[in-house]
A and B are shown apart, each in its own frame.
Chain A
């Protein structure tokens, strides 16, 4: 009984439905995909930021230089699954995760939350892989 309850609760807590890329772009701009630019996303991805500890932080600091390979968090050593959808089909499918990690990672890396424009640009760049 306990096990069943656990499974039911677990399934309820999981993000309910996968989001399509189109819907995702529309969340960040009423114009949808056309509002975003992969080149701008690439620049953002590679932009260097100086953190409070004086060290340089950029997306690849933890995600690595090869998006089809796993990354590793520079401080906690946590393994980060590949960003490339060619090897990790789950990327950019769950709104809850997208929101959570944009918030955390923009603050950690850039030092502030990213704008909707930046998020859309980044997604357009990253979903090429």
Chain B
């Protein structure tokens, strides 16, 4: 009697394991998993982590819609990447763009990605995550002295300075510690 039960359990667990190995599996399968989709999908591509993450926080692809990533990752755009030259070899550039597009916010079933996309106004392809209405609204109560004028933060674009679990794909309020200030409580 126990054997079929074990068999069923192992199939269910196996499916759970499968779904976690593909972060974004699709609309239906996203509901048939033990994984929670509250935050943003993880990015594990080693080229993305090496090339982009060595200069700045490795923003999860699910933080911007596809059109934004295409604009940002255009070869000519990378020559002036927010004031710095971030040129990549062509094969690396196309690979990273592919990684970003496949997991972009408009293709993601994660809660924050969905919220962020539905908040977009006239500009459907913002060049900065910090220009996205959802992101702006989430931070508008925080005074300038704690972010822009805070020498330990300097800009809203430095997610991981305050979001201690940003690299683990969590941007929850509870995980915020503003350097030189402490926990952020609402």
B170 within 8 A of A: no
Q: List 30 interface pairs A-B (beta carbons < 8 Å), by A numbering.
A: A1-B21, A2-B21, A6-B44, A6-B46, A10-B46, A13-B46, A13-B47, A14-B50, A73-B83, A73-B84, A75-B82, A75-B83, A75-B84, A76-B56, A76-B82, A76-B83, A77-B155, A78-B55, A78-B56, A78-B84, A103-B87, A104-B84, A104-B85, A104-B86, A104-B87, A105-B85, A107-B79, A107-B85, A108-B84, A108-B85
Give the residues in chain B near A89, CB-CB below 8 Å: none
Which of B79, B83, B155 has its CB near the most chain A CB atoms (within 10 A)? B83
Give the residues in chain B near A1, CB-CB below 8 Å: 21
- A18–B113 Cα distance when bound, in Å, is 40
Given the contacts A6-B44, A105-B85, A13 and B154 also touching, CB distance less than 8 Å = no
Given the contacts A6-B46, A104-B87, A107-B85, A77 and B154 also touching, CB distance less than 8 Å = yes
Give the residues in chain A near B82, CB-CB below 8 Å: 75-76
- A110–B24 Cα distance when bound, in Å, is 43
Give the residues in chain A near B79, CB-CB below 8 Å: 107
Give the residues in chain A near B55, CB-CB below 8 Å: 76, 78
Give the residues in chain A near B44, CB-CB below 8 Å: 6
Give the residues in chain A near B87, CB-CB below 8 Å: 103-104, 107
6 nearest A-B pairs in the assembled complex, by CB-CB distance: A75-B83, A104-B85, A108-B85, A13-B46, A10-B46, A9-B46
- A13–B50 Cα distance when bound, in Å, is 9
- A73–B87 Cα distance when bound, in Å, is 16
Give the residues in chain B near A77, CB-CB below 8 Å: 154-155
